[in-house]
Structure 1
Amino acid sequence: MLADSVDSGRDLGAGVALYVDGRCVVDLWGGVADERTGRPWSSETACVVFSATKPVTATALLLAADRGRLALDDRVAEHWPEFAAHGKESTTVEDVLTHRAGLPAFDRPITPEEAADADAMATQLAGQSPEWEPGREHGYHALTFGWLVGELVRRCTGIPVQRFVAEEVGADLHLGVPADRIPALARISAGRPLKAADRQADEQTLARVVAAAQDPASPTNRSTANPPGSFNKPVVLEAGWPAAGLVCTARALADFYRRLVDGTLLARGSVREVVRERVRGPDRTLISETAFGLGFMRPSANMWLPEIARPHGFGHPGASGALGLGDLEAGLAFAYVPNLTRPALGDRRAFALVEAAYAALG
């Protein structure tokens, strides 16, 4: 199926991996890692996965909680006193992890150079006023999520989130890549617009989403386009933006979910609680429906999965079409990591691969 996707042009290059009951049963790759040079995708080609990053960063904070460094119902300001300004004093750790903190976007333009300074990003967010009362509504924190969670990790452990992820979550999960390793990464390319959307969304919702994406003042645009960043640029790749900058292979991302599913990263009982749905409904940022556990998405309009995967699937998609997925009941851990971006509405590449994975389980 991956070969067909590459041959048809739906993919440029990609990796896909699948674990079942702790055993790697699929580890495939193919296509082109760099469209400019024709460099082929290899078994070790890593690529940025955009927002599929979020569960990895969230797991760093969940590990800190599991070790007693904080509690999910703690007020953020108990660990980060400066955060209490401008009506944020009651914001909880759970509010941050469920996109209810009211800080979906920065209130001024942020440069990629500023975004590389975690202290500056923490100071900026601590000084902002929330766009809604924290805990009352949810709206996707596309980029701010990472700096909010990352600062809590640093405050509670004394370790920057990039280092904590490398040391405690997975050595093959890279938040920040040294300059000399960047030439070996897959290079992101933009795919041609699709003619029609395949997802189950009505025309009115589709029109609203498209209009929001094209309006610079919309919550959608403000949350996803500030700071602006080409994920091929060293200033972004080296910084390792903790909401969207994870670089890894499909094998490494699937193994992250494998360790969640089999209880070696967090106890299985803890994972069940982490992925339990806490919010669902129209998203103030993304317009259409989203659903969240603690840092993990649940199946919704913004993580569209085959029907068989919807009862127990958890994970997160990325803007490139990337997807990380776990299922405790099926014993399944899956990842798809491409380098050709497609419009989010209508991109069925990951959907088709997940459908094939479940079908193979019999």
Structure 2
Amino acid sequence: MLVDRGLLSYDEKVVKYWPEFGKHGKENVTVKMLVSHQAAIPFPNETLTWDIFRDHEKLAGVLADSVPQWEIGTGHGYHTMTMASFCSVLVYKVDPKRRTLGQFVHDELYVPFGIDIHFGLPKELFHRVARMEEPKYTASQWVELVRNPLLRAFFLGSLRGEESIWNKVIRNMGELSDPYRLNDPDNRMVEVPSAFGTATADGLARLYGILANGGDLNRTKLLSKAAINTLKTSVIKGMDKVVMKENEWGPGTLISDIKIGKAFGHSGAGGQEGWANPELKIGYGFVTNTPTVSLSENGQRYLLLRKSLYDCVQNLKK
């Protein structure tokens, strides 16, 4: 939205808006490189804590001090715990109202469009939130765990004493690695946008449905058609250095080949999903309060529902 309004450019270097970001060889990273996970900073140097995220200026300093984990420009890797926080600092730097990402989303999505997505949930809305619960794995889900290449690499690497980038990401999460702390309303009020957003499936579907249908709802514009075309345009694809699988990134969006057209959106740890399919003009979302180890569209619950959705669409087109 800020790019659409001319306040930010994908092609400009991040240091134009945030000079401190240029430390440790990051001075030539562009906004487009950052939001397509090419800045080589999937985790910061400092172990993450709730208190870091409670202080936006401190968070900005921790992120600016981050050291790249591979040579910038040689590939991409999912910026697991940093991407949305980098975006939050950029929003704050260029937004005339000096809003954080959570405040911006509330004012620009929740209020005008009824998009039920929050980064830092107001305590008065906590009564609507389903409590996070431990998953009870079925036999098929245990098979899914064993087949997951990321988990296999993580456990085998741990046994061998190896430190993959993913192992370092998990270790760096510190006290934030326990999602069940979100059952405390004081923690859910904290903006941790890369991991602990709060949303309904309807909220995700509404957001991506608007994007799949030209960017406006009831004559109120969310994004221009040009901006939406940019979101679904590939920036980089190939083997991800962090999650160790092939993927394709647009500017802040995952791009996925579906059997009917291409979709863009994002997966979330634990099995959360939100996607737009402009060819079919549909948006859809899936959320769960029993997180699994699913990552990047491999959750069986979600995949079965997605298959049913597309089967219905195909039947309607006949």
**Residue 142 of structure 2 aligns to which amino acid in structure 1?**
K
How far has the Cα of 1:106 moved from its partner?
Answer: 1.6
Deviation at 1:74, TM superposition (A): 0.6
Please give the alpha-carbon distance, in whole angstroms, between the structure 1 residues aligned to 2:191 and 2:65. 23
* Corresponding position: 1:190 with 2:134: yes
Query: What is the distance in 2 between the residues matched to 1:192 and 1:66?
Result: 44
Deviations 1:135-193 (A, max 9, x none): 33111111111111110011010222111111113332211112343243111112134
Give me the whole-angstrom Cα distance separating, in 2, the residues matched to 1:186 and 1:216.
Answer: 37
Match of 1:220 in 2: 166
Q: What is the deviation of 1:224?
A: 4.3
Give how far 1:314 is off.
Answer: 1.2
Aligned partner (choices 109, 113, 123) of residue 169 of structure 1: 109
TM-score normalised according to structure 1 size: 0.74
Aligned equivalent of 1:358, options 307, 310, 315: 310
CA distance in 1, matches of 2:54, 2:309: 38
Amino-acid identity (%): 27
| C-alpha separation in 1, matches of 2:93 and 2:150 | 40
Partner of 2:219: none
Contact 1:279 1:291 (8 Å CA) reproduced: yes
Distance 1:255 1:326 in 2: 10
Q: 1:335 to 1:205 in 2, by over 3 A?
A: closer
The equivalent of 1:292 in structure 2 is: 249
- C-alpha distance in 2, partners of 1:240/1:204? 30
TM-superposed CA distance for 1:243, in Å, is 1.4
2:231 to 233, 255, 274: 274
Aligned partners of 2:245 and 2:156: how far apart in 1? 12
- Compared with structure 1, are the counterparts of its residues 90 and 161 closer, same or farther at alpha carbon in structure 2 (3 Å cutoff)? same
Q: Taking structure 1 as reference, are residues 278 and 357 closer, same or farther at Cα in structure 2, changes over 3 Å only?
A: same
Amino acid at match of 2:169: S
Which of residues 273, 285, 291 is equivalent to 1:341?
Answer: 291
1:74 aligns with 2:12: yes
User: Aligned residues, how many?
Assistant: 291
Using the TM superposition, name which of 218-227 and 101-110 deviates more: 218-227
Q: 1:277 to 1:111 in 2, by over 3 A?
A: same
Distance in 1, Cα, partners of 2:3 & 2:174: 29
Residue 84 of structure 2: which of 131, 141, 146 is its match? 146
Alpha-carbon spacing, 1:213–1:186, altered in 2? closer, same or farther (3 Å):
farther
Answer with 72-81 or 274-283: which moved more. 274-283
Q: Which residue number in structure 2 is paired with residue 308 of structure 1?
A: 259
By percentage of residues, which structure has more strand? 1
Contact residue 44 and residue 67 of structure 2 kept, 8 A: no
Larger relative contact order (CA 8 Å, sep ≥ 6): 1
Higher relative helix content = 2
Deviation at 1:213, TM superposition (A): 7.8
Q: Where in structure 2 are there 5+ consecutive unaligned residues? A: 217-221
Cα shift at 1:338? 1.3
Q: CA deviation at 1:227?
A: 4.3
CA distance in 1: counterparts of 2:133 and 2:65, whole angstroms: 36
Distance 1:93 1:204 in 2: 30
Match of 2:197 in 1: 246
Task: Provide the TM-score with structure 2 as the length reference.
Answer: 0.84
* Equivalent in 50, 60, 66 of residue 128 of structure 1: 66
Give structure 1 stretches of 5+ with no counterpart: 1-62, 300-304
Q: Once the 2 structures are TM-superposed, how far is the Cα of residue 210 of structure 1 from its aligned partner?
A: 4.5
User: Which residue identity lines up with residue 283 of structure 1 in the other structure?
Assistant: D
Aligned twin of 2:281:
331
Following superposition, the deviation at residue 103 of structure 1 comes to 0.9
